[in-house]
Amino acid sequence: MLLAAAAIATLVLRTTYDARNDARHRSLAVAEGFAHSPGLAPALRSPDPTAVLEPLTVAAQQGSGVDFVDVLSTSGIRLTDPVPRLIGQRVQGDVGRAAAGQPLTEVFKGKPWDAVRALVPITDAHGVVVGIVSTGVQTVDLGARVDRQLPLLFGAAAVVLAIATGGAAVVSRRVRSQTHGLGPVEMTRMYEHHDAVLHAVREGVLILDADQRLVLANDEARQLLGLRPPVEGLPLRDLGLAPEMAALLASGRAVTDEVHPAGDRLLAVNLRPTAVDDGPAWSVATLRDTTELRALAGRAAEAQDRLKLLNEAGTRIGTTLDVGRTAQELAEVAVPRLADFVSVDLLETALSGDEPLPGPITGAVLRRVAHHSLLEGTPESVVGVGEVDRYTEHSPHARCLATGRSELHPVLDRAIGAWVAEDPVRSARSRSYGFHSWIQVPVIARGITLGVADFVRYRRPEPFETDDLALAEELVARAAVSLENARRFNRERTAALTLQHSLLPRRPPAQSAVEAAFRYLPADPRLGVGGDWFDVIPLSGARVALVVGDVVGRGIHASATMGRLRSAVRTLADVDLAPDELLTQLDDLVIRLAAESETDADLAVTGDIGATCLYAIYDPVSGRCTLARAGHPAPVLTHPDGTPAVLDLPTGPPLGLGGVPFEAVETVLPEGSLLALYTDGLVGSRQRAIDTGLDELRRVLAIPELSLDARCDRVVETLLPERPADDAALLLARVRRLDGGRVATWEVPVDPAAVAGIRADAGRRLAAWGLDEAAFVTELVVSELVTNAVRYGGAPIRLRLIHDRTLICEVTDGSSTAPHLRRARVLDEGGRGLLLVAQLTQRWGVRQTANGKIIWCEQALPVNAPGPD
């Protein structure tokens, strides 16, 4: 009833407030609308404003829902009013704010009636207040609105009272149902019986409510847990229980006869969550004193600790594929929970990469790979990590290797004493630190013996027991598998790195076209080696080819594929193919390799074979550079003024897709420009976008006054993390131009008689270069090549001599037919020219051009001849 009365009062007040608020808004809206009516200000200045405005106010009142609309002078005199007798009288209340130009609403109490009214100023065209509009709603009308809603409110209150009455009846019936219809006397008797039984039993009983507050504790529970009354109603955390016991009671899980310590007692705990009629879950716990099971509980705790140690070993040992780190993890796990000092010694064969022989080992040399102790710096160790320790045949370590079985020495027995006495340093350390108990376990995985693990106690007084030996063997067995995996991984990675390094250039070849420097950074060892490669290939005509590529995948297969592609590029480069033609041939090769891996089960690999490649040819005579790429990042060109920019090259598909031609671009590189070729592992990673990496690369390349080697180091330091996720290759080439005085060119008429003059001109040029010793051979070569061009080629014919690291002779003609070297028979009149050229020069060849071909040859410079500038 109180709630219903409060609700009715609240609703009445709310309705009154809403009605009054609505009256304010309505009055203000009507007043503002009337005040801004056109012609209102002139009407106020008319000789009889009342006659003009009275009809207007009556019409506005009838259509607006307000009780009155009055027009007042600025001093508050009524000019219009629904009651004619009030016209000319001053209104009650303060109209000063409205006369000052500020609209307002207020609850007015006074004559002729109480009302909610609004006062709005009337302004002329110049913003001067010339009158006031007053509108309002009588409060009597507002009360009538509220009175009309009272029947509805009282009806709702009646419904609420009816529902409350029904709910009380339901609750009363529910209570009777839960007490099974017992009256007060029966309930009192039941409580007395229950209390007597609860406090008489020799088993502790605790009841906790859903908020973890103690509801009931019998005498036995208070005694077992050391509780002092009063404790009922206290939170579980305030009872002063042992943390383990408190955590168990707070868990609310079902527990049967779990043994937990409570002070100097061992208690068997039974815990059951209870919920009556789907209510909040309470907990009931019973406690029994099982102190006599202390010894058994101690053994159980030890077993639990061992299980925890083994579980921890499973997560901590073998986190990396590093042999030394894995052995160190074994030592750190075992100290101090099993031993005071642990060392791990492995065979040299297990560390060198050779395949250890299966079975027992005799006469082996062990190297310390890890040790750990309770003391900082491991001062009790006789040898350091990385040092060799030779164990005699009388040592327990040698016996472990020979028999493949562990040894347990709980005391300093004869077998240990004789071995310790053989080494004065080991004997002194043993006496100094008080070594008294040893365990030696052979490290064996997959039938292969890798070494020996040594466990020693000197701080802990208890000697090793059989259970400790079993635990040590289990730890070593788990570590042995990880050590074997790490050994195999290191062997495979070493083989892959060896293969990869053998296939990559060691130093830039001798040539004059570019000054080159490069860096190759393998990925994180855990990820395996990749297939990135680069090369600098000298070509005919003092030109040079720059190439960088990346093979998809990792491991030995990727390295082998990289080697095959690099060899193919070198072979195709010797044929003097254009960059786009070379990439087309390389694309066919990758497709064939992929087909072989699919058809041959021995060559099958996971994933497709694919690669990217960038190939560039630079001519130091003309300064022209021709580039093409197959899915590879574009190179960065740094101009002599230090401005870097990414060259705009057609992308081209990666190698291995086939069917799409490649496009080459030719550009002129200013002398001293720096061309940077790289793989995507240098500029891109999971933590950095490729665009960000390119920005960093351009920034480093723009740093002035750095040598190529220093610039390579700066790029690697800036762009690559400590353990990159992908291989990275970087090739920097600073382009050079050959001195024009070292190049001589002659246009040759298509006339056999012109050969003699060209030969003489070539001899004079050699004399000017100081190469008189090479004049005879050169004139002979020029005579043969120019004669063949005049006889079998087409115009235009051109002879060019280049004085570089070798003397290069090139004859260009307009025919695309390439000559072939053959051996002439005795009666043949021709066919000996190219054979003669091949025998007199170091090497010769033919390369096709857009308008014909070039036959070239190279001669070694005389010993005392001047080299190029």
Residue 829 is predicted with a pLDDT of: 44
Q: Tell me the two tokens of residue 786.
A: 């120019």
* Of the ranges 499-503, 624-628, 680-684, the best mean pLDDT one: 624-628
* Cα distance between residue 569 and residue 590, in whole Å: 12
pLDDT (tens digit per residue) in 624-638: 999 999 999 999 999
> pLDDT category, 499, cuts 50, 70, 90?
low
What is the average per-residue pLDDT within 49-76? 79
pLDDT at site 868: 58
Q: Which residues of 337-376 are buried (b: 16+ CB within 10 A; e: fewer)?
A: ebbbbbbbbbbebbbeeeebeeebbeebebbbbbbbbeee
Specify the 3-state DSSP secondary structure of 748. Answer: strand
What average pLDDT does the segment 750-764 reach?
89
Predicted confidence at residue 603, as pLDDT, reads 47
Above 50 in pLDDT, residue 605? no
Question: Rounded to the nearest 5°, which phi and psi values hold at 361?
Answer: -120, 135
The predicted model gives 576-591 an average pLDDT of 92
| Tokens 């013996």 sit on residue | 449
Q: State residue 827's pLDDT score.
A: 42
Look at residue 826 in the predicted model and tell me its pLDDT: 43
pLDDT tier at 506 (50, 70, 90 boundaries)? confident
- pLDDT tens for each residue of 520-562: 887 765 555 677 889 999 999 999 999 999 988 776 777 778 8
Percent of the chain with pLDDT over 70: 84
Condensed to tens digits (0 to 9), the pLDDT of residues 188-225 reads: 666 666 666 666 677 888 888 888 888 888 888 787 88
- Residue 587's pLDDT is 92
Q: How many angstroms separate the CA atoms of 239 and 231, rounded? A: 7
Name the average pLDDT for the chain. 82
Angle between helices 579-599 and 556-574 (to 10 degrees): 140
| Amino acid 191: pLDDT | 64
Residue 617: how many other CB atoms lie within 10 Å: 25
345 - beta bridge partners? 368, 452
Q: Which of 541, 539, 520 is nearest to 582 (CA)?
A: 539
- 665, amino acid identity: V
275-287: pLDDT as tens digits: 655 667 788 888 8
3-state DSSP assignment of residue 663: coil
Beta bridge partners of 520: 729
